[in-house]
Amino acid sequence: MASKVVYFTINGRPEQAEFTNNSPAQDVKDLFRAAAEAGPYDILKMYNTQGSLINIAPGLLANDPQSCYRLEVVAAEYSTELLGTELAVALGFDLSSMEKRLQNLEKKIPTEVGATPALISEMKNQVEFLQKKLETVEHLSWLGLFKEMPDVPQKLSPFYHKRTLRKPQGECELVREKFLQMNSLEVSEDVRAYLKTPTFDNWQWEDAEIMVLLQVMYVDLDLVSTFSIELEVLQGFLYEVYRHYNNIPFHNFKHCFCVTQMMYGLICLTDLKNKIESIDLLIMLTSAVCHDLDHTGYNNAYQINAQTELALRYNDIAPLENHHCAVAFEILVKPENNIFRNLTTEQYKRVREGMIKCILATDMARHNDILNQFKSVQSDFDFQNKEHKDVLMKILVKVSDISNEARPMDVAEPWLDCLLQEFFNQSDMEKLRGLPVTPFMDRDKVTKPSSQTGFIRFVLFPLYTELANLFPCLEKHLIDPVRKALNYYSEMEVASEKERTNCSEKTEMSSGNDPAKEADEAQEKTRPATTN
């Protein structure tokens, strides 16, 4: 396939990139990242001549020097600067400042000295290693930096990968202002088309842009016109939703967007718009938006074992999911946020009932029951049958909620890292407070591949298979990528096991132990004594 040339500017500097339509997506992103001299955690944004965001992907349209795209670099939210002054004081140095100094040194060396000295390379590696540790370990036990745990059960650890659990008001206002300003921009057709696919890469988009894309979904499904939703009310609702998702590694606003985007993609791929009523689409999309509101990063087992306020309020029955529903309707009760305010009484009653059912269905404790309900209606499924349709809506929300592994690996794997960080945070807290430790969250026992292989085999495959039985078109969009993910993590697990075995053998050899000799000695000891 012939290559194409894309012309763009970065900080006013003209550049060009050459690649083909079948180039790997990650290679294309790396190409632009290198041209922009961006760091591994920086976010790249590409704009066309009209100022609209366009997707950085192999399908990017070729242009000419007169119609240059504009590339921008946005520092990632989890940069070292966000570690805070408290941590800088505790460490005794400013990590971000040291990193910048090393970068400057690195740039000067090739011109003034030649090859990078080994000492500088080693320093750079040490800084990167320290930065990675700081970004991925919540309690920082390896530094001895513990904060005194409060006596009140419902209060949470202040150590999250971002600055605070709740979003600061000032930060929220800046995002809101940017969101409202961006509403005047036209979202390009290629982004609109990309938004309907399960391969969508959420990592390119900031929170304000995510709100714009959520608004596009409501408009595109005709929900705005069908239910007379005023745009300013929809914008108020989306902003409050953003504000009520917390700064936690996984169950955050970007997760909310991913779930909603997958729901939107499934609706489009299966042509549900022509199979069920618009009010059901409104229920599913809004349920996806609200399904994890005010999640604090600790699951239902923790809530119940720690006897938190939520567990006490909801009598240990799906405390998180009940809370997410309650927060959603607390937002919607205000007229300026109530996207349902022009519905009839009967319509509102139906929407509220449907949203509660869909959000409560995301409780994994109910997974098998809901899947079995869906299996029981598969053979004679009827889109006009309310019982059948209700269980389908719950299944679609569930599939969307746990759909990361159906995405490309470069999108899915960072989400797994975020999820494991949240799991490890919880198990750390359980150990600190003397609570039962959730086995699949224990950082001392769980590895990335081991966490995924069983989950894919016993949760994702059965769920996705049943949905694909009803909608065969989903086979290539859900089952094929998940099968690839299972192979990837299975191979990683085998490699990890080999590495552990090799390390163990080397340790035994270095300690002077001979496994074969030890086995012979053990056998000799177990032989019965004989007499002459």
- Rama region for 315: left / alpha / beta (φ>0; ψ in -120 to 50; rest): left
The answer on pLDDT for 361 being more than 70 is yes
Per-residue confidence (pLDDT) for residue 398, from 0 to 100:
98
Provide CB contacts within 8 A for 156, sequence distance 6+. 165, 296, 297, 298, 429
Q: 252 a known binding residue?
A: yes
The answer on pLDDT for 279 being more than 90 is yes
Split at pLDDT 50, 70, 90, the class of 514 is low
The residue type of 484 is K
The residue type of 323 is H
Contact present, 329 and 258 (Cβ < 8 Å): no
Q: With CA atoms as reference, report the closest residue to 201 among 216, 187, 213.
A: 213
Q: 251 a known binding residue?
A: yes
The answer on pLDDT for 173 being more than 50 is yes
Bridge partners for 8 per DSSP: 15, 69
Does 175-404 carry CATH code 3.40.50.170?
A: no
Q: 452 a known binding residue?
A: yes
* The architecture CATH gives domain 4-77: Roll (3.10)
The answer on pLDDT for 218 being more than 90 is yes
Per-residue confidence (pLDDT) for residue 487, from 0 to 100:
96
Q: 11 a known binding residue?
A: no
Helices and strands (H, E) in the chain, number of each type:
22, 5
Q: 161 a known binding residue?
A: no
Split at pLDDT 50, 70, 90, the class of 437 is very high
Q: What are phi and psi of 6, to 5 degrees?
A: -115, 125
Split at pLDDT 50, 70, 90, the class of 155 is very low
| pLDDT (tens digit per residue) in 52-93 | 888 888 888 899 999 999 998 875 544 444 444 444 544 555
The residue type of 223 is L
Other beta carbons less than 10 A from residue 225's beta carbon: 11
Per-residue confidence (pLDDT) for residue 92, from 0 to 100:
52
Q: Which of the residues are catalytic?
A: 251
Split at pLDDT 50, 70, 90, the class of 23 is confident
Please give the residue that has the higher pLDDT: either 190 or 135. 190
| pLDDT (tens digit per residue) in 452-491 | 999 999 999 999 999 999 999 999 999 999 999 999 999 9
| pLDDT (tens digit per residue) in 242-262 | 999 999 999 999 999 999 999
CA distance 189 to 216: 11
Per-residue confidence (pLDDT) for residue 525, from 0 to 100:
45
The answer on pLDDT for 327 being more than 50 is yes
Per-residue confidence (pLDDT) for residue 96, from 0 to 100:
58
Q: Where are the beta strands (DSSP E) in 244-374?
A: none
| pLDDT (tens digit per residue) in 399-430 | 999 999 999 999 999 999 999 999 999 999 99
Q: 151 a known binding residue?
A: no
Provide CB contacts within 8 A for 50, sequence distance 6+. 186, 188
CA distance 474 to 197: 11
The answer on pLDDT for 162 being more than 90 is no
pLDDT over 90, % of the chain: 64
* Mean of the per-residue pLDDT values of the chain: 85
Q: Three-state SS across 210-249?
A: HHHHHHHHHHHCCHHHHCCCCHHHHHHHHHHHHHCCCCCC
Split at pLDDT 50, 70, 90, the class of 111 is low
Its pTM stands at: 0.73
Split at pLDDT 50, 70, 90, the class of 239 is very high
DSSP codes, 325-352: HHHHHHHHTSTTT-TTTTS-HHHHHHHH
Per-residue confidence (pLDDT) for residue 470, from 0 to 100:
97
For the chain, domain boundaries: 4-77, 175-404
Q: 401 a known binding residue?
A: yes
